[in-house]
Amino acid sequence: MATLKDIAAALGVSVATVSNVFNGRPNVGCATRQKILRVAKQMEYRPNRAAQAMRTGRTRAIGLVLPDLTNPFFPELAQAVENTARSRGLLVCLVDSQSRPEGEADGFALLMQHAVDGIIWCPLGPRPPAQLKNLARPVVLIDRPRPGYAVVHSNYRMGGRLLAQYALRMGHTRVGLLSGPQNIESAHQRREGFVKAFPRSIEIVWEVCVGFDGVLTPEALAALEQRGRATLFTGGTFLYVPDGVVIDQPIIGQHFSHEGGTSVLPHTLIVAGNDLIAISAIRRLAEQGVSVPEEVSVTGFDNIRWTNIVTPRLTTIAQPVGAIGAKAVELMQERMSGEKIASRRTIFDVELIERDSVRQLNSGS
């Protein structure tokens, strides 16, 4: 079985240099590190992690706590973290909080029992688990920012703005919002980016908050089922009136009565807080006989793999999941090496992915 001495001799470097690579110390250049790892793989070297842990007090294992693995975004994120961690000789212990605070707390307790060297954490909600107070290990946040922690996430406000710009470019000015849970910062920033982008040009006709699991609440279902009447006046002025409301006052020299107008949806576009919410909305609309995008358009956020296989294919915002996962592991290694990065924030740009779920209502630009 190959040893550190064998690898060092093969490359003409010191045993200490090889040892530093396998112990995750940052004082080895990238090119040298890659050569050592390549030769170690060729020689089928396998570090004795138990012996290393006894000697160094480090397990070379990190925890990854995610809110809900039934949401396809999080398995993709877990894979990104694990790919980078493995390439750096780190073992990832994955915890699924299962959307339950007690599940998150149990996960932290279990990771502490297994003496992981640090934890990458995507918070379930605004209240942290009690175990966090006694955790003598570095913590790096991923996807959902909180004050006081190093964090890696996407530019959610940018994503909201991109959707608002796209809505106007496609001629949509009356929007229904299926916002994500507003007690989660990432959902709050997505909404804020959209709503504040063009407040005088885009009217929010209705808004309902929905969980990121995509389960539509009774309020959301009621919003999707809204109907009303519309009349196009001389000069192109458009008036929408909900069912049951009567307007009999003169408007621009014309009359609009409860018998006039065409039955329409109050919104032409539904902006969803994430892709699961958007897909659930499309399914519900189909059950009502409402065609997407012919009668109403829908957008998502995240660009999970399902968005390219549902019908219609979903227009959404893509997050750079691979880069986010890799950066989180990089920050964790820096923390494990003793660097002080307590409140460092790394924010990645996002991208609009245009597919088939939004209809163009104007001539475009």
Residues 149-174: tens digit of each pLDDT: 999 999 999 999 999 999 999 999 99
d(CA 70, CA 324): 20
Contact 297, 270 (CB under 8 A): yes
Structure tokens at 180: 């994500």
Give burial (CB, 10 Å; 0-12/13-18/19+) of 168. Answer: middle
Contact 108, 65 (CB under 8 A): yes
Q: Per-residue confidence at 124, pLDDT binned at 50, 70, 90?
A: very high
pLDDT tens per residue, range 50-86: 555 555 556 789 999 999 999 999 999 999 999 999 9
Of 260, 283, 257, 259, the residue nearest 270 (C-alpha): 283
Average pLDDT, stretch 5-21? 90
Global confidence as pTM: 0.79
d(CA 171, CA 222): 25
Give the single-character DSSP code of 331.
H
pLDDT tens per residue, range 289-306: 999 999 999 999 999 999
CA dihedral 148, 153, 154, 157 (to 10 degrees): -20
